[in-house]
Structure 1
Amino acid sequence: MAPGAVLGAGRPVVAFGEPEGYDERGRGRTLGGRVRVGPRTAAATACVVLGLGLIGGAVTGSWLTGDSGKGGAAGTFAAVGSMWHSIPVDQLFPPTVEGRGAGPGGADRTWTRVAVAPDSGCQDAFDPLLRKALAPVGCARLLRATYTDATQSYVTTVGLLFTKADATAMGSLAARFKAEGLDRRTDLMPRPYAAEDTVAAAFGDKQRASWTISVLTDAPVVVYAVSGWADGRTVDAPQPAGDAMQSGATTAPAQAGLGHEAQGLADRIERGFRKTVGSATEKPS
C-alpha cells in the first residue's frame, strides 16, 4: 500500500498500490474466476459462514467497545493486524472529518485532508527516542495523512502505526507509556508529514505545537497526531494535547486550540477505523 495525494481544486486524488481485493482507486476487484458450488458444498459452506458470523460478531463487539477481553483478544488482533492492506484510503483517512464538539469550549471542527503520505516505514516518522520506545512492538506498517482545519490556519498529521506485537506486548507498552509519561515528553514526539504544494508544505519538526499518542491494547495499533500552524511559524515550547486542552491553559498552543486539533482528529480517525474494522469483520447471521 503506497498512498500519496495532494490538495487540488476539488477532492484530493489518492494513488494506492494494489492491496489484495482492491484496484489502484480502492475499488473492489475480482481475485479469481467463479467456482461452481454443489448443493452439499453450499450447505457445508453455510454452516461455516454461520459459525464465522458468531465468532466475528463477538470479535467485532470487543473491538468496537475497546474491550480487550481474554476471549476475543486473539481474534481481534488477528483480524485487525492484517486489515491495513485491504481498507481503501478514504475509509482510513476520509477526505473530510467532522468533529462535533471537538474544539475549545465544545466548538465544532471540520478537517479536510490535504495529503496522504507515501509508505515509508517508521524510520523517519518519529523523534529518535520515540522510535526507540516503540521498537519493542515493531513496525509492520505506518500510514499517515495530513489535514487542515476549515480556515486553513492549522495543520495536523495523524498516523496509524500497525505493529508486529501481540496483546501482551501492546499491554506492556501502554503501561510503560502511562507510568513513565512517555506521551508527554517533548523529546519523544511524532513528526509531521509536510506535503509540497499544500498548506502543510512548511509543517516541519520546528513547527510542531501539540501532539497526542495512544497505544491501543485491543489491537496492534498506535494512533497519534501532531499539530501546528499552517503559516510555518516555529514553536519553542510544544505542549502535549492533554495539557493544552486544560481549562485555563495560557500557552500559545493552548490558546490557539492546537491541543484540540491534535486530540480531536486522532480520536475521530480512531473511531472511524474501529467502525470500518467492525463492518469488515461482521458476518451475516
Structure 2
Amino acid sequence: MSTDAEFADARHIPPIPPQPPRRPAAAPAPAEDPQTAVLRRVPPAPSSAPAAPPGPTAPPVPPRPAAPPRVQQPPAGAQPPPRPDRVPGSPAPSAPAAPGTPPPPAAFRDTAAFHLANSQELWSGPGERGAGQGTREPASAPSPAAPGSRPPGPAAERPAQLPWPRTPLPPQGVGPAGVPVAPSRRPGARVLAAAACLVLGIGLLGGAAAGGWLTEKAAGAPPDAEAAFAKGHDVWRNTPVDTLFPRTVNGLGVGPGGADRTWTRIAVAPDSGCNGAFDPKLAGALAPAGCIRLLRATYIDATRSGFITVGAQITKADQAGMMALNTRFSTKNLGIRTDLMPLPYAAKGTSAADFGRAQRASWTVRVLTDLPAVVFAVSGFADGRTFTEPQPAEAATRSGATTAPAESGLGHDAKDLADRIEADLRKAAGSPTQTREASS
C-alpha cells in the first residue's frame, strides 16, 4: 500500500473529459440577423445539469486540493522511489474508440477549444455550407484533433475555400493608374539606317586616325640604306644652305690640346659643276664617280689667323661605284698625295680673296659609301704665307705632331669642319649609318 509521500512529486492534473455529442445548430429566428454574433446559452451549474444519456460514464473529476501536501524528505543515502506511470486514482488508458463511434458524453467544460470548434456554425449558415460543395478540394488525411476540440465533420459539411480572384489586366495602352501609355514601336528603317551610318562613321574616323598614326610613325623612322642613298642625289637641292654650311660653327674641345674652336662663314660659292674646281690629277681620280653639283664655302677662325674651304661633290655613281672609288682611294693612298689636294675658294671682295694654291697648309678628302658624295676641306694661313711642305689633316692632328699645320691648328680646322659637313649631309639624307669614313 503506497503512501502520499511516494507521489509527492507527481502533478495532480485531472484528465480532460471527452467532448459532448454534437448538437444540431438551430436555425436563426426570422427577426435575427444571421451574420451577427449569436452567443450560446450558459449551461446551468453542474449540480442541476440534466442527466447524461445512457452510455459509458466518465469518471468523476477529483477535487483540486487547496494546498499541496507536505513532502517528506527521504533519509540521507536512501534511493528515491520510482515514479508511477500514471497519477494514482486515475483510470487506466483505454483503447481508442472505433471510427464512427460518437464520443461518450461528459461534463461540459468552458474551454477555448470548445468555442473554436462550435463557432463555425454560428458564423456560417447552412446556405453557405451548401454553396461550396461544387468547388470542394480533394480530401486529405485526417489530422488528430486537439484535446477538447470538435472532431472535423465530413467534407460535404465543411465550407469550401473560395479561389483567389484574379486581378484583371489593364487594357493595352493604359497604365496601372489609368494613365494612357504610348504603344511601343519597333525601330523603323530610318533608325536602323542612322545607327548603321553612326557605326560606319566611327569606323572610318578610327581607321583614319590609325592610318595617320602609322604614317607619322613611318615618317619618323629612319629610311633604309637604299632610300637614304637615293635621297642623297637631291640633298643639295632640298637642303637650305644654312643647314649644310652654318654661319657659325662651334667646336668644343676639337682644337690642339682639347681647345675650343669657333669658325665663321665669310663666303658661299654658288652651286656649279666640277670643271676647274680641282687640280687635274684630283679631277681625274674623281671622274669615275661623275659630278652632279659642287658645293663650297669658306670660313675663318676666331683668331682670324686661318682660312678653311670646305665642300662636297655630289656624284652620279651608285652604291657599288662609290664603294669601288673608296677602295681605290684607300688602297693607293690618293688622299694623302700633295698633287691631289683640293683647291680653296677665294671669294672676291672678302678677306679670303688671296687664299690660293700656294697658301694651302693642310687638307682632307673623304669618299663616302652610304651617300653619293665626296667631302673635302683645305686650310691655310690668313696672312698669305706659303707652304712648301703641306701636311694631311690626319697626320697634323696626331698626338705629338710638331709641324706648323699641327701647332697652328690648321690640321684640326680642316678635319673638324669636314666632320661637320659630313654629318649634316647624312642628317639631311636620313642615312641610318653614322660612321665616319676614314680619310683617304
Which of the five TM-score ranges fits, normalised by the shorter chain?
Answer: 0.7 to 0.9
Whole-angstrom distance in 2 between the partners of 1:174 and 1:196? 34
Distance 2:322 2:242 in 1: 27
In the TM superposition, residue 127 of structure 1 has moved relative to its aligned partner by 1.2
1:58 equivalent to 2:222? Answer: yes
Cα 1:47–1:146 shift into 2, 3 Å: same
Write the distance in 2 (CA, Å) between the matches of 1:137 and 1:259: 27
Query: Residue in 1 aligned with 2:225?
Result: 73
Q: Larger Cα Rg: Structure 1 or Structure 2? A: 2
Q: Is the 8 A contact 1:91 1:273 kept in 2?
A: no
Checking the alignment, whether the CA contact within 8 Å between 1:152 and 1:199 is kept in structure 2 is no
Structure 1 pair 88–178 and aligned structure 2 pair: CA distance change class (3 A) = same
Aligned residue in 1 for 2:358: 206
CA contact (8 A) 1:213 1:223 kept: yes
- Give the SS at the match of 2:370: coil
Q: Does 1:163 align with 2:315?
A: yes
What's the counterpart of residue 269 of structure 2?
Answer: 117
Aligned-pair distance for 1:99? 0.8
Mapped to 2, the partners of 1:134 and 1:260 lie a distance apart of 25
CA–CA distance in structure 1, aligned partners of residues 299 and 425 of structure 2: 16
Q: What does residue 418 of structure 2 align with?
A: 266
Separation in 2, partners of 1:103, 1:203: 22
The corresponding residue for 1:230 is 382
Deviations 1:189-245 (A, max 9, x none): 110000122221111011111001111110101111000011111111111101111
Q: 352, 367, 372: which is aligned to 1:215?
A: 367
Q: Show the counterpart of 2:240.
A: 88
Stretches of structure 1 that go unaligned for 5 or more consecutive residues are 1-39, 60-71, 280-285
Q: 2:325 aligns with which of 173, 194, 198?
A: 173
Offset at 1:170?
0.6
Q: Is the 8 A contact 1:209 1:228 kept in 2?
A: yes
Residue 100 (structure 1) aligned with residue 252 (structure 2): yes
Cα 1:119–1:248 change in 2 (3 A) is same
Cα separation, partners in 2 of 1:49 and 1:191, compared to 1, 3 Å: farther
Whether the 8 Å contact between 1:111 and 1:150 is mirrored in structure 2 is yes
TM-superposed CA distance for 1:168, in Å, is 0.6
Distance in 2 separating the partners of 1:166 and 1:84: 17
Which residue does 2:435 correspond to in 1? none
Counterpart amino acid of residue 160 in structure 1: A
Structure-to-structure mapping, 1:24-63, within 5 angstroms = 47=211, 50=214, 54=218, 57-59=221-223
Displacement of 1:140 in angstroms is: 0.6
Amino acid across the alignment from 1:139: C
Larger proportion of helix: 1
Q: Report the CA distance shift for 1:253/1:143 in structure 2 as closer, same or farther (over 3 A).
A: same
Amino acid at match of 1:57: A
Q: What letter matches 1:230 in structure 2? A: A
What CA RMSD, in Å, does the superposition of the two structures yield over aligned residues? 2.4
CA contact (8 A) 2:296 2:312 kept: yes
Corresponding residue for residue 8 of structure 1 = none
TM-score of the pair, normalised by structure 1: 0.74
Q: Contact conserved, 2:368 with 2:374, CA < 8 A, in 1?
A: yes
SS in 2 for 1:187: helix
8 A contact 1:207–1:233 mirrored in 2: yes
Contact 1:99 1:108 in 2 (8 A): yes
Q: Distance in 2 between matches of 1:198 and 1:132?
A: 30
> Secondary structure of 1:122's partner?
coil
Alignment partner, residue 28 of structure 1:
none
Match of 1:143 in 2: 295
Q: Which has the higher contact order (CA 8 A, sep 6+)?
A: 1
1:253 and 2:417 aligned: no
Q: For the structure 1 residues 47 and 80, does the alpha-carbon distance in structure 2 shift closer, same or farther, using more than 3 Å as the test?
A: farther
TM-superposed CA distance for 1:102, in Å, is 1.3
Percent identity (aligned): 60
Query: Which deviations, in whole Å up to 9, do the C-alpha atoms of 1:72-131 show, x marking residues without a partner?
Result: 322111112212112111111000011111111111111000000122311111111111
How many residues align structurally? 229
Specify the code of the residue in structure 2 equivalent to 1:129. Answer: K
Amino acid in the other structure paired with 1:249: A
* Alpha-carbon distance change, 49 to 240 in structure 1, aligned in 2, over 3 angstroms: farther
The aligned amino acid for 1:219 is L
Aligned residue for 1:146, secondary structure, equals strand
Of 163-172 and 49-58, the range deviating more from structure 2: 49-58
Q: 1:270 & 1:174 partners in 2: Cα distance?
A: 15
CA distance in 2, matches of 1:99, 1:138: 32
1:270 is displaced (CA, Å) by 1.7
Equivalents in 2 of 1:263, 1:208: separation in Å?
Answer: 14
2:427 is paired with a residue of what secondary structure?
helix
